[in-house]
Amino acid sequence: MKTHIKEFRARYDLTQEELAKKVGVRRETIVFLEKGKYNPSLKLAYNIATVLKTTIDELFIFDDE
């Protein structure tokens, strides 16, 4: 899975640490999400999308691999 988290974070001038605090996870979780090495729960995906003022569909690109 790929994400646009980094791009959306940049729009709102948020660091990984700041985003992590807003959604209640560790910074490492955001790092792994941005690298595509972690699939978030639906709740986490929703929380991140809400903080970044976007939709889950715009934020996450699901592939069949």
Q: Angle 29-30-36 (CA atoms, 0-180°, nearest 5)?
A: 90
> How far is the C-alpha of 52 from the C-alpha of 43, rounded, in Å?
14
| Mean pLDDT for all residues in the chain | 94
Number of domains in the chain: 1
- Give residue for tokens 């715009």: 58
CATH number of 26's domain = 1.10.260.40
Q: What mean pLDDT comes out for the span 10-22?
A: 97
Q: Is the pLDDT of residue 63 over 90?
A: no
| pLDDT score, position 65 | 56
Contact in structure between 54 and 39 (CB atoms under 8 Å)? no
Domain around 12? 2-61
Q: b/e for 7-46, b at 16 or more Cβ within 10 A?
A: ebbeeeebebeebbeebebeeebbeebbeeebebeeebbe
Per-residue pLDDT tens digits for 28-55: 999 999 999 999 999 999 999 999 999 9
